[in-house]
């Protein structure tokens, strides 16, 4: 059982490495293999070509696995990890749990991607306001200033395309800005639409309004980032506590016990597994809800 325990720990570590270091491994693959077989690997000289070829083959295999996992999605790493526990525990329950975890992990990963895209768009709105104010001070008309700022900054995606189309072809720019503000991260465009409307209808200075809007959006973004940084420590503590059951299993193996067989093949163990899993999931959900509410996302 000690050999199986070590195998499980190695597989879990490999899965974690694949999840964290996929992009870095892909970049290393490009550097390592762009020059072909003759490149030295980790300082191996030409006199040790056999070891170099084996090291290069291992690196190719590792990079291939990384790229395959990246293409499929990190959520599918739940299945091999669950398979290891299924073999060690001689039960199909870990495989069922891994299959259930795949859509949940996929949802979490996609939510993280959407959050990052919204943050990029929010930064693009701040940059757009600053660039447009600079163009206006240089003597450009509002439409030309908006077009030049959009080209210079970018990063708003479909929202930027709609606004640029309205400005370039004589459309209603404030209305296009308000519609674009409905996308996550582009809420600041509603303020730009208000400044545009006031400047056009009331003759107020658009550059001054954009300066104040940029300052307000930048301060709000810095406040959100500061709050997120303060909550990062608490979230790290939650994740460490969530991993304690795995540490308990490892300690049980180290002491010569068989915790997986107890959990998966006895009524008391199954009851503890169900109750513990429910409490673990509820705790993670509640902690995530507190963090998301605090950050305001």
pLDDT tens string 210-261: 888 889 988 988 888 888 888 877 778 888 888 888 888 888 888 888 888 8
Which residue, among 283, 121, 68, 180, has the nearest Cα to 191 in the 3D structure?
180
Count: domains in the chain: 1
Q: Which residue has the higher pLDDT, 211 or 5?
A: 211
Checking if the pLDDT of 105 tops 60, the result is yes
Tokens 């605090």 found at: 294
pLDDT, mean over the chain: 76
| Residue 72's pLDDT band (cuts 50, 70, 90) | low
Give the C-alpha separation, 222 to 93, whole Å. 46
pLDDT tens string 129-140: 888 888 888 888
| Residue 84's pLDDT band (cuts 50, 70, 90) | confident
Average pLDDT over residues 192-213: 79
Give the C-alpha separation, 264 to 92, whole Å. 9
pLDDT tens string 153-185: 776 777 778 888 888 887 788 888 888 888 888
Angle between helices 206-242 and 244-254 (to 10 degrees): 20
Q: Establish if 80 belongs to a structural domain.
A: no
Which residue, among 125, 284, 134, 122, has the nearest Cα to 208 in the 3D structure?
134
Give the C-alpha separation, 143 to 269, whole Å. 69
Q: Establish if 246 belongs to a structural domain.
A: no
**Cβ atoms of 93 and 261 closer than 8 Å:** no
**What's the pLDDT at 36?**
42
Give the C-alpha separation, 207 to 129, whole Å. 9
Q: Establish if 87 belongs to a structural domain.
A: no
Checking if the pLDDT of 46 tops 60, the result is no
Alpha-carbon distances, residue 184 vs 156, 187, 213, 217, 281 (angstroms): 10, 7, 18, 14, 28
Checking if the pLDDT of 32 tops 60, the result is no
Q: Establish if 200 belongs to a structural domain.
A: yes
Decide: pTM greater than 0.85.
Answer: no
**Cβ atoms of 178 and 195 closer than 8 Å:** no
- Of 9-13, 139-143, 257-261, where does mean pLDDT reach its minimum? 9-13
Checking if the pLDDT of 62 tops 80, the result is no
**What's the pLDDT at 294?**
66
Q: Which residue has the higher pLDDT, 233 or 266?
A: 266
Q: Can you give the chain as a three-state secondary structure string?
A: CHHHHHHHHHHHHHHHHHHHCHHHHHHHHHHHHCCCCCCCCCCCCHHHHHHHHHHHHHHHHHHHHHHHHHHHCHHHHHHHHHHHHHHHHCCCHHHHHHHHHHHHHHHHHHHHHHHHHHHHHHHHHHHHHHHHHHHHHCCCCHHHHHHHHHHHHCCCCHHHHHHHHHHHCCCCHHHHHHHHCCCCCCCHHHHHHHHHHHHHHHCCCHHHHHHHHHHHHHHHHHHHHHHHHHHHHHHHHHHHHHCHHHHHHHHHHHCCCCHHHHHHHCHHHHHHHHHHHHHHHHHHHHHHHHHHHHHCC
**What's the pLDDT at 275?**
92
**What's the pLDDT at 230?**
82
Average pLDDT over residues 86-102: 85
Range of the domain at 129: 117-219
Checking if the pLDDT of 17 tops 50, the result is no
Give the C-alpha separation, 122 to 155, whole Å. 9
Average pLDDT over residues 38-67: 60
Q: Which residue has the higher pLDDT, 279 or 45?
A: 279
Token digits of residue 143 = 């439409």
Checking if the pLDDT of 68 tops 70, the result is no
Checking if the pLDDT of 81 tops 80, the result is yes
Q: Establish if 97 belongs to a structural domain.
A: no
Q: Establish if 192 belongs to a structural domain.
A: yes
Percent of the chain with pLDDT over 90: 1
Average pLDDT over residues 82-104: 85
């Amino acid at each position: 059982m000690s050999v199986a325990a070590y195998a499980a720990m190695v597989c879990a570590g490999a899965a974690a490495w694949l999840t964290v270091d996929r992009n870095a491994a892909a970049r290393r693959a490009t550097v390592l293999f762009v020059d072909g077989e003759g490149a030295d690997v980790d300082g191996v000289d030409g006199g040790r070509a056999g070891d170099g070829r084996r090291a290069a083959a291992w690196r190719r295999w590792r990079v291939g696995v990384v790229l395959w996992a990246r293409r499929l999605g990190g959520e599918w790493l739940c299945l091999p990890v669950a398979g290891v526990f299924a073999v060690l525990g001689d039960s199909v329950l870990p495989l069922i749990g891994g299959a259930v975890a795949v859509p949940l992990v996929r949802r979490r990963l996609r939510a993280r991607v959407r959050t990052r895209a919204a943050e990029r768009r929010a930064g693009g709105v701040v940059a757009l306001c600053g660039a447009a104010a600079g163009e206006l001070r240089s003597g450009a008309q509002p439409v030309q200033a908006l077009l030049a700022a959009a080209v210079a900054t970018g990063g708003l995606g479909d929202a930027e395309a709609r606004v640029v189309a309205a400005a370039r072809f004589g459309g209603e720019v404030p209305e296009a800005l308000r519609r674009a503000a409905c996308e996550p991260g582009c809420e600041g465009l509603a303020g730009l639409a208000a400044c545009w409307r006031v400047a056009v209808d009331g003759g107020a200075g658009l550059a001054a309004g954009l300066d104040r809007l940029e300052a307000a959006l930048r301060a709000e973004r810095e406040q959100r980032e500061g709050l997120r940084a303060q909550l990062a420590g608490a979230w790290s503590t939650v994740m460490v506590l969530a991993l304690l059951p795995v540490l308990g299993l490892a300690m049980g193996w180290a002491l010569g016990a068989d915790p997986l067989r107890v959990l998966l093949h006895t009524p008391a163990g199954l009851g503890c597994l169900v109750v513990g899993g429910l409490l673990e999931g509820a705790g993670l959900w509640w902690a995530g809800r507190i963090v998301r509410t605090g950050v305001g996302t």
